[in-house]
Every structure is written in C-alpha cells, then in structure tokens.
Structure 1
C-alpha cells in the first residue's frame, strides 16, 4: 500500500491506525540532497541498528521464503485523515504564525493544516523540491531559519515554525526573532503534560540542557536522560512509560494524547496551545539563563568516530571524572557539562557544551578540545 509523498509522521500515523505489519519511508530525512535511505517500522516498533544488519545478512544470503500468493499494490490517500488527527483536541488560539516547510515533504500537509487553523498563517517554501532551492531544511542549523526569522520580524508575527526534510524535526522562532532550542521547547511543553499527569516520566537526550532535567524535577516529573536517535528514543518511551520525550535535533514525541512517535507538525500544534496566556518569548525568558554552544559537528570516518569516543571515555574514567556514558560521553565539571558522541546517521563526531556563563563555557570547550587532540581528532570550534 502506497501513501504517496508526505512527511514521515504521516507514515507512522497510517501504520498505527491501519494495524499493518510493517512500514517503510523512503527519505533522506534532514540530510543533504545526495543522501537517501529508509526509516522502518515493524510490529509497531522502530526497526534499526542490529536489526538492519541482520536483515542485510539475510538478504545477502538469499534467505527468504516466497509468499504463497502474489502481493498486491494499492494507493491510499491518508493525508486528510492525518490532518484530521493533528487538529483533534482543545481549540487553538488565533495566533499569527509563519511556517517554513523548506521545500521538504511536509509542504502539502502544512498547506492543508494551516487552511483549517484559526488565526493568520504565512507560508514559506511549501512546494516539494528535493533540490531544496531556498535553503537546506535542517532547523537545528540557525542559518537555515534566516528566511523564517525575516518573515516573523517583517510581519510582526507571534512565532515562526520550521520543519526538516521529512517533517519529524521542528525549529521555532519567537516574535523577537530568537531561535528557541529544542531543550527549552521541551521544558515549555513539559509543564502542561505534568499538570495533567503528575509525576510523569519525561525523557531528554544527552545533548539537552541541564535546565530541562531540573525543570522536569521541579514540576514534579521524573526526568530521564536517554540516547539520541528517534528509534532508541521511542524504545525508551515504551520501556519507561514516558509521556513526552525530545531530542536536541528537534524530534518531539508525545504519548499522553498521541501515539508516541516524533511528529513535528503535532508538536507545533501542542506548542501553539501553550500560548493562550503568554507569548512564547515570555515563557522562554522565564527559564534560567545558560551559555551553550549549538551542536558542533566535525568530520570523522565511520569506523574512527566510535574509537575516538571510546578513547576519550577511557581516559576520563581513568582520571576519575564525572561521566555519563548513556550515549557517548557527557562530562560534568564545575563550570557545567560537555558532550562528545558519534553521529547515528553521518560520518561525524557531535559535541556540545553548556556553561553557567561564557567564560565557563569556553573552559568546557577547551577541556573537550584537549581530549580531541589526544585522540588526533579535529578540535571543536
């Protein structure tokens, strides 16, 4: 059954409501146009890591069984049903919003969705074009939000919302033109979830601010630090019963009144529903201030990236440092923390640091760079 071109969350939704055995999305996700691949679902769970390696071995060996009857291919238009589900729930406030689909696969759904929402909506780049003629659709890179920021400031909008190439990552701009990082977005989204479900478990990945985990605890929730990656995050939600989770890359997962997968369009509507009394900027400013780097990425070969992280972890353990190895190495120091991990999807090492102030953040980056030099890896900048 083919559902056509659309965001990955539309596939997840269709798989869940139809009760099929498996689903495949052909997508390059947030990566450059030269990338392509699959996101897989089997038995209503993500299919990844060793499962894919094992499947590859079976395919290489020709170890399969022919079906007793030939299969059939049919087409299903699930877009309207998906949008119907997105807008279920309490009424949304009539805000003035900018939307940037980045010429990605969510463009047609953004048009259908905003046509049914109250308020005033300004759309950018909804024509689906895999060459991405306007900007690359990765909302974690601030330069990719320049057009949306200009729109928000020019039209004096309440906020701006951007999506990645397959619509499962969200980026947000407040009315002052400031980017709201995903950890702060999750801290804002956590409050109504915990008000409705006291004590609920909420997961953030290892790249997220300590502010998030402290905020969840202060609201009476149970904070959990999890691995980055949409597939391990969904498994962690099942294992812990978490009602909300998020990654610094902009994947947000709701399981309180939704189906527990990463859906940036649904996350956008949940964010809009929090803005009935205060503007987004005020909610963001109420959170403690910290100085953090963006996600730092630098090239490494596929085999070497894991070795570098292992070498750094071993040296830090021998030195008696305070290290969390949930995913890579997250090192806590008097100034704050820094993280080094291998990318799940690219030939990259990924780093981040968060300090109480800029000098502290600089010292954290220096400590990270010391470790990288010891492993003959490129220093973070």
Structure 2
C-alpha cells in the first residue's frame, strides 16, 4: 500500500509549480526541493480537469520504486478523485505497465506514472498519457496554468486496485509467436533490473521463457545499492559485461528505473546502443513487412538511415524525446522507432509506446528469425567513430537561442544541415549535431565519422561554429 498522506498537508485551492517541473516531455523535480506531495495533489486536480473536459471519467495510476514515490502517488490519487475522476491503481509497476493499462484495460481515458526514470535517486516526477496520446509540451504548460488559476473540476471519484501483471506478461510474450523455442533454449541470458520497478515483472517473465536466465538486482530498492538504473551509462552495465567475460551468460539486457529504456551487452561484452538495437529490429521488420516506415532520432547513426533505405524501407529523422517520437509515429504512420537513449517503440504488432521488456523479447525474436546471434548482427555493422552525448552548460546563455544563432550562420553560409532538432550538419567527414536539451539548461552535441581523423575534424568544425557566437565547449 502507498504511504498515507494527510489531507490537510496537500489540499489547496490553487497551486504554482516550480517552473523547473514543467518540462517538455514530462514533469520532473527534486524531492523535498522542487517537488513534494502538494505538487502531486495539484497535478491530480489539474489532470482530472483536463480528463473531464475531454469527456473522460477514469485514469490509471502507477508508481516506480523510488523512496518518494508512494507519498507522491497517494497525493496524486487524492487530487484525481477530488477532481471527479475514477482511479485504477496498478501499484508499484514500470511505466510500460501503466501504458498497457491505458491501452488495454477498457474505459481508461488516461494515465499517470509517478517516476524519476533514470534520474538521480532523489529526483522524481510524472509521465502522462491522455486519450492514448502522449501528454507533453503545451499540455504540461496548460496543467501549470490550470493549477495557478485553481481552475479545477470538482467531484468524488472512486478508487479500484487492479493487478495487470499476468495479463501484461501474456501480452508481451506474443512477441515470440512463431519462434521455435529450441532457438532460445540453448541461450544463457542476463537480466539486470538495477533494483528498478521492472524487476518483479522480469522475474515473472523469465519463468515463462525457454533458455537459462541469470537475474541481477530484481528486488525493488529505491536506494539503488548496486548501480544506478540507467543503461545508457556504460559503468552501469559492468555486471553484465563481467558475466559475459566470465562465461556465465551469452548476452544480457539492462533496464532503467521505470522499465522503458533498454540496454544490451553482446557476447563479446560490447554495449549495443539504441541506434544499433533499432537497426537490428529494422532488419527483422523489413524482412517481414517490406516498405515499412521507421523513425530514428536525430542522434542516431547514419548507418540506420542508409541501411533502412537500402532494404527498401522508408525512414524519417525525428526529434529526440520519447513523447515527441510517440506523437510523430501517430502522425506519420511509422511502425517502428527508436532513439539513442534506448527507448524503442513498436506499432506493428503492439501499441506504439516504448517498452523495454517487450523490446527485449522482440530482439530475441529478431535474432531467431534472422538466424544470427545478437553478437553476429553487431559484427556485421560497419565500424564508425562516434562521440557519446556531449553535454555542456553555457552560463548566462539560453541554449535554444545559441542553437538558433548557429543555425542562422549555417544557413547564411549555405551549409548542408537538417533542422529537425537543432542542427545536424553533414560534411565529407560525416556529421555533427548541435541541439538544446529539453530537460536541462545545456547544449548537447554528437558527431560520427568513418575514421578517427574525420571525427577530430568534425569536432573542430563544431567548435569553430560555436566560437563564432562566443561559446567554447
């Protein structure tokens, strides 16, 4: 059960969120500093108002394993029911289970997951869905307006506790339909939940899978005692890499704190990044559904775009951000998408949202159908030289304004670039990207080249353009 929250400590007639909470993709803050139960209550009242004005009556709510999540969930539920909507509580669960509740449970008009995702353990926040559509950008700003004005609906909703774990596992196991279990039976697979919310579902899931399974840190613990649950950071994959080196597993999967980001370590101990996972999934999809439309975020390797095109598919470059990609998939009709952060989205035989457990099963299926191990599929990819995500603060400078300045200079000089999300500049050496972070007041950059010398030239070129507006990385 969630921790009880005294009504007198959270109820209010109106509320102003700390501006840092109202982010592009979702709401996130620091527990006890910019985020507390009053914020959760006010969010519940404001979201209930949006739901009711859209003709809805019911919202699903879940929460991750962070220490602050039960108190936030209790206050959120209080706000929702006092705003006049019914609440279906799914309890401690990863974000994909919350999305599944909205997509499949029937008569559910929206959902909120209390989660800090991959952020530091003293952070927390909320991911939202309304009417099967991602809720972000201006929608989040509108919640702030509704709360500040106290423009809240009033009512008395009902609360129902529901358990969807078994139904969810049954559903995602359809990813392996048509796959001979004998192809998976010899495999030794590692699963690292990082003490995040996906752990209990992983335990339930692997009990139904063929093969041998080694579980790491599936007990939910908001202290994250072994490593932080963010599979985009190489050091957090150290246990899987060591297990591969010691011959304990053939490869491994890793998950973030709320189970919507996937990391993979192959049989040679290499990390497969989000764009490489997307490329494997795309090859499988193209073999079964020629001509499919795929989306890859602007940070992705050029080999994704080139390979999908060569296989007869269509590929769109998308702005970074899970909400932006989900929205773009619905608008474009794309059936598969991915981004460097390990969010992978499926709309061919699934619901169009990011689900790391389902993605792991789809990778198992892709490997079986393509007849090659994940290691062999990675071996077949061209080697490139690429930077990680380079993030740097520029004190006193608006990152979006800085990117706009650079973009204007590039256009004036007649440079070839894509402005989908910042500026992705193509040169004979490869490409570099400059964009403003939507989650922090920082600039981010990335570059990729076939050669190490080319990568050095790309970074020098990026630095030269930044220097023209007085910024030094």
Same fold (TM over 0.5): yes
Q: Counterpart of 1:178?
A: 270
Q: Counterpart of 1:131?
A: 223
Per-residue CA deviations over 1:189-212 (Å, capped at 9, x if unaligned) read 111211221111000000001100
CA distance in 2, matches of 1:113, 1:358: 42
1:81 to 158, 167, 173: 167
Cα offset, 1:300, TM superposition: 4.6
Mean Cα deviation higher: 215-224 or 150-159 = 150-159
Q: Counterpart of 2:145?
A: 57
Q: Counterpart of 2:447?
A: 353
Decide whether the 8 Å contact of 2:398 with 2:441 is kept in 1: no
SS at structure 1 position matched to 2:316: strand
Decide whether the 8 Å contact of 1:97 with 1:122 is kept in 2: yes
CA distance in 1, matches of 2:122, 2:304: 35
Q: State yes or no: 1:66 paired with 2:154.
A: yes
1:12 to 77, 90, 99: 99
For residues 286 and 298 of structure 1, do their structure 2 counterparts lie closer, same or farther at Cα, with a shift above 3 Å needed? same
Q: State yes or no: 1:330 paired with 2:418.
A: no
CA distance in 1, matches of 2:396, 2:421: 17
CA distance in 2, matches of 1:372, 1:82: 48
Mean Cα deviation higher: 33-42 or 198-207 = 33-42
For residues 267 and 378 of structure 1, do their structure 2 counterparts lie closer, same or farther at Cα, with a shift above 3 Å needed? farther
For residues 15 and 376 of structure 1, do their structure 2 counterparts lie closer, same or farther at Cα, with a shift above 3 Å needed? same
SS at structure 1 position matched to 2:90: coil
Decide whether the 8 Å contact of 1:156 with 1:175 is kept in 2: no
CA distance in 2, matches of 1:301, 1:182: 30
CA distance in 1, matches of 2:392, 2:208: 42
Cα offset, 1:275, TM superposition: 2.3
1:37 to 121, 125, 131: 125
Cα offset, 1:376, TM superposition: 4.3
CA distance in 1, matches of 2:338, 2:397: 27
CA distance in 2, matches of 1:369, 1:345: 23
Mean Cα deviation higher: 145-154 or 40-49 = 145-154
CA RMSD of aligned residues (A): 1.5
CA distance in 2, matches of 1:362, 1:189: 31
Cα offset, 1:351, TM superposition: 1.3
Per-residue CA deviations over 1:338-368 (Å, capped at 9, x if unaligned) read 1111222233322110001100011111112
Decide whether the 8 Å contact of 1:204 with 1:247 is kept in 2: yes
SS at structure 1 position matched to 2:89: coil
CA distance in 2, matches of 1:342, 1:102: 29
SS at structure 1 position matched to 2:215: strand
1:306 to 382, 400, 414: 400
CA distance in 1, matches of 2:429, 2:318: 22
Tell me the number of residue pairs that the alignment of Structure 1 and Structure 2 aligns.
377
Q: Counterpart of 2:376?
A: 282
SS at structure 1 position matched to 2:92: coil
Q: Counterpart of 2:434?
A: 340
Cα offset, 1:302, TM superposition: 9.9
Runs of 4+ in 1 over 6 A off after TM superposition: none
For residues 61 and 315 of structure 1, do their structure 2 counterparts lie closer, same or farther at Cα, with a shift above 3 Å needed? same
CA distance in 1, matches of 2:396, 2:205: 39
Cα offset, 1:278, TM superposition: 1.7
Q: State yes or no: 1:370 paired with 2:457.
A: no
Cα offset, 1:317, TM superposition: 1.4
Unaligned runs of 5+ in 2: 1-87
SS at structure 2 position matched to 1:155: coil
Cα offset, 1:370, TM superposition: 2.4
Cα offset, 1:301, TM superposition: 6.2
Per-residue CA deviations over 1:123-149 (Å, capped at 9, x if unaligned) read 111111222211111111111111111
Decide whether the 8 Å contact of 2:297 with 2:318 is kept in 1: yes
Mean Cα deviation higher: 92-101 or 355-364 = 92-101
Q: Counterpart of 2:387?
A: 293
Cα offset, 1:26, TM superposition: 0.5
CA distance in 1, matches of 2:228, 2:152: 39
**TM-score, normalization by structure 1:** 0.95
Cα offset, 1:378, TM superposition: 5.0
1:205 to 297, 302, 310: 297
Cα offset, 1:372, TM superposition: 3.1
